Structure 1
Amino acid sequence: MIVEVPGYRLAEPLGAGATGVVYDANRLADGQRVAVKVVHPELVDPQYRERLRREARAAAAVVHPGVVRVQEVGGDGNNAWLVMDRLSGPDLQRRLADDGPLEPVEAAELLASVADAVHAMHEAGVIHRDLKPANIILNEGRPLVGDFGVARQLVSLESSTGFDLTGGSSDWLRSDAPAGPPLGAMAGTVAYMAPEQWRGDPVAAAADVYALGGTLFSLLTGLLPYDRKTLPELAYAVAILPAPQPSQYGVPLAFDAVVARAMAKDPKERYATAADFAAALRAVGSVSAPPRTALNRRWLIAVAALVLVAGGAGAVVAQGKGAATEELTVCAEDATVRDAPRSRTVVATVYQGDHLTPIAPRDGDSWVHVRLRDGSTGWALTDFVRHEC
């Protein structure tokens, strides 16, 4: 990574991602404070630089109060950089981490403004491709879409993770395959990617609409749209599972339909434009709900843990009294039962249509403790064994 950009003095990094590092900087000509994003050199080739310049010019032609302005784009050799307005406010990911989820009305108003800005960029022929809370900056309380990059080509999953998604085998999607690489910090980038981006299909405005839907879910709940620990688990959820429902976390029911349509698997079933998404948000934004106390994330996790323990204890007591327990059905073609959550040790293989008895408590939302017909026990992924297939 270079640390020199002609005409600018770079200071400390403001953040880093899959495609580059953003620095606080001063322009030498007039002393103006700006933000400079330096793209990772290994991602840059002549075609990339030309595409970056072309789309930067298109983005710069759009004057919208909700878009971080790109002042300049440059590069030489294997280097490329973008010069953008320097903002002082936190991004929404930081806001969520510090203060927890937003009130529904606030989330609707804020993200509708973001969708308006995204629509303006779409009208100029520029697709963001990486919308997420971390790329929405609060500047004096007003949200601005940043890191259009500008509409850069996302780093492929293969180069980001070293995990082969195109080797001609689907074993990585099977429940008995190795867990694959942990998501870690990469979750912030891939968690909001539309199914067609995972497949490597051409990306259109509908991919940004999908990301807006995932961002809405996160703003309402403080959680990722699909909270998984490994790339295969996340890929399966994005490709197969229905959109997450904010109402499961105390959010007004009307928001479920907005998230579901925005995050539809088929791009043609999503909102036709980001402006349509904004209109839908404004329509449900007036839905009243009891105000939720602004709890920080640690407190929310603590409360959830207490509820989980209490619920698990209650279930054990109920089972001890002979209460009926609804069985789980294996929904996948086949699935494995492990000796512990996230373990690689398989104790049994079960097949589509088999029935398992759940044992409380569950290990979060990803794994469930089950008893097999022969009396043996183990842990299964909730994606593969459910009450209804």
Structure 2
Amino acid sequence: MDTTAAVLPAVIAGYDVVRQLGEGGHGRCYLVRPPARLGLADEFVVLKMFNDRVSEQAFERGVRELRAFAAVPSEHLVHVYDAVLEASFGYAMEHFPLGSLAAPARSPSRGEVLTALEHAARAAHALHEAGLAHGDLRPGNILLSQDAAGAIGGRLADPELRRVLTPGTALTGMGRASSLEFTDPTLLAGARPSRRTEVWALGATIHRALSGAGLHGELPDPQPLLAIRRLLTGRPQVYPGLAPGAAALVHDCVADGGNRIATAAEVADRLAALR
């Protein structure tokens, strides 16, 4: 898709658009300059705009969800600055030039990947302790941060908002089939997001980030129903080349019944031990 300046909007909701960063099943992300009304020191922030038009009531639900997310006390959650409503819903958040675990600006070391995963798991646990579920844990939503000393870490971004903006939307209409690889199959059968389903998502995310492979192989992106069928009828298969400690962690994240790790905090501790 052409994302040159000629086809980009110059301004969205008072934000000066610099360039488009990406496009997914839900909407588009732009690198923008924030308006003076926010009083931010950041030269650039990211503006995520959803595709679907929403009502004023849906906008209010989205704002409440974002406020709850922003209120969770965790240094490993991305800062959300603003919510906007034009033709569709959108929000502004921190910009991380190093990209995400799915699309890093440079290849991180294994230790840096483990640190970013650990931080994301700790952020997920903080959300759970506040009674919230992230709903979209995957490598693309783990952004790579860098502290003043140059150390690489992770920040968890983009809580799943489609469930509050457009309640009742079918999973097959909520994005690309490839994103389903991070979805606990029980959610496809009607379960609600929970600590348990998010531990499964962390396991799938760890597996993809460390092995480059999906637990169910490469899902057919243009055919979400076939992807769902594979998830519901197949068993997760851990990549044979994964290091033993990491393989054991993934196994324990996606295990059935009481064999599954109970909390995201335990996942984080085991990731720290692997490092």
Task: Tell me the alpha carbon deviations over residues 308-347 of structure 1, each in whole angstroms, 9 at most, x when there is no partner.
Answer: xxxxxxxxxxxxxxxxxxxxxxxxxxxxxxxxxxxxxxxx
Q: Which residue of structure 1 lines up, in the alignment, with residue 172 of structure 2?
A: 158
Per-residue deviation, 1:232: 4.4
Q: Which residue of structure 2 lines up, in the alignment, with residue 60 of structure 1?
A: 70
Give 5+ residue unaligned stretches, structure 1: 162-185, 287-389
Per-residue deviation, 1:257: 2.6
Contact 2:216 2:234 in 1 (8 A): no
Say how many residue pairs are matched. Answer: 252
1:324-335 maps to which residues of 2 (within 5 A)? none
Q: Distance in 2 between matches of 1:244 and 1:107?
A: 21
Matched, 1:24 2:31: yes
Per-residue deviation, 1:33: 2.0
Contact 1:25 1:33 in 2 (8 A): yes
Matched, 1:148 2:159: yes
Structure 1 residue matching 2:102: 3-state secondary structure: helix
- Paired letter, 1:81: G
Q: Please, what TM-score do these two structures have when normalized by structure 2?
A: 0.79
Task: Tell me the alpha carbon deviations over residues 48-75 of structure 1, each in whole angstroms, 9 at most, x when there is no partner.
Answer: 3222111111111124221110111232
Q: Please, what TM-score do these two structures have when normalized by structure 1?
A: 0.58
Structure 2 residue matching 1:238: 3-state secondary structure: helix
Q: Which residue of structure 2 lines up, in the alignment, with residue 139 of structure 1?
A: 145
Q: Which residue of structure 2 lines up, in the alignment, with residue 124 of structure 1?
A: 130
Per-residue deviation, 1:218: 1.0
Matched, 1:92 2:108: no
Change (3 A) 1:98 1:197: farther
Q: Distance in 1 between matches of 2:196 and 2:56?
A: 28
Structure 2 residue matching 1:40: 3-state secondary structure: strand
1:1-389 maps to which residues of 2 (within 5 A)? 3=9, 4-29=11-36, 32-42=43-53, 44-75=54-85, 79-95=88-104, 99=107, 103=110, 106-140=112-146, 141-149=152-160, 153=164, 156-160=170-174, 186-227=176-217, 228-229=219-220, 230-246=223-239, 248-249=240-241, 251-265=242-256, 269-283=259-273, 285=274
Give 5+ residue unaligned stretches, structure 2: 1-7, 147-151
Change (3 A) 1:26 1:106: closer
The two structures, once aligned, show a CA RMSD in angstroms of 2.9
Change (3 A) 1:260 1:253: same
Structure 1 residue matching 2:75: 3-state secondary structure: coil
Per-residue deviation, 1:152: 5.3
Change (3 A) 1:45 1:210: farther
Tell me which moved more, 31-40 or 189-198.
Answer: 31-40
Structure 2 residue matching 1:206: 3-state secondary structure: helix
Tell which structure's C-alpha radius of gyration is larger. Answer: 1
Per-residue deviation, 1:126: 2.5
Per-residue deviation, 1:191: 1.6
Per-residue deviation, 1:8: 1.8
Contact 1:226 1:234 in 2 (8 A): no
Change (3 A) 1:36 1:152: farther
Per-residue deviation, 1:46: 4.1
Contact 2:98 2:106 in 1 (8 A): no
